[in-house]
Amino acid sequence: MMERTYLMVKPDGVQRNLIGEIVSRFEKKGFQLVGAKLMQVSKEQAETHYVEHKERPFFGELVDFITSSPVFAMVWEGENVIATARQMMGATNPKDSAPGTIRGEYAATVGKNIIHGSDSPASAEREIGIFFKEEELIEYSKLIKEWVY
């Protein structure tokens, strides 16, 4: 099923010069970038984005961290891109992320785990809406599609 997902290189990934590496992995997989920008997340956006963790003890830390320095926000499109991107990211806690995954290769702690990715179609739609305006998402066709699907 053709889907869109919200992926975000977190402040630690940007600071560690991993934007290119991460974008490259999703490009090579065959997914299509439909929107991307370097941005400073506001406190309001952060609190909305992480609302499901509002009652957790680390919520304040989470909001402080994601607003501490710019993120690289992206929307990617492709068949099953939501679940596949989560597999490519690896487990939330880098101590459990498989080698070869983004977190498995580059992250050491759960608080600084490099990348965010939507976990369901409903989250993807909600999160895209928090960070992007409709006109920032670009629909276009690529000839390579015939070789991917």
Interaction site with ligand IDP (CB under 6 A): 58, 62, 92, 110-111, 113, 116, 119
Least distance to ligand IDP, CB of residue 146, Å: 33
Least distance to ligand IDP, CB of residue 66, Å: 9
Least distance to ligand IDP, CB of residue 135, Å: 27
Which residue's Cβ has the minimum distance to ligand IDP?
Answer: 92
92 is in an annotated binding site: yes
CB atoms within 10 A of CB 40: 11
10 is in an annotated binding site: yes
Whichever of 23 and 62 has its CB closer to ligand IDP, that residue is: 62
Phi, psi of 18, rounded to the nearest 5 degrees: -105, 5
Sign of the dihedral through C-alpha 121, 91, 56, 112: negative
Q: Under a CB-based contact definition with an 8 Å cutoff, are residues 87 and 106 in contact?
A: no
Whichever of 96 and 138 has its CB closer to ligand IDP, that residue is: 96
Least distance to ligand IDP, CB of residue 87, Å: 12
DSSP codes of every residue in 72-123: EEEEEEEETHHHHHHHHH--SSTTTPPTTSHHHHH--BTTB-SEEE--SHHH
17 is in an annotated binding site: no
Q: d(Cα 106, Cα 117) in Å, to the nearest integer?
A: 16
Quick one: which of 4, 138, 132 has its CA closest to 71? 132
Q: Which residues are catalytic?
A: 116
Whichever of 23 and 110 has its CB closer to ligand IDP, that residue is: 110
Binding residues for ATP, by number, are: 10, 58, 86, 92, 103, 113
Binding residues, by number, are: 10, 58, 86, 92, 103, 113
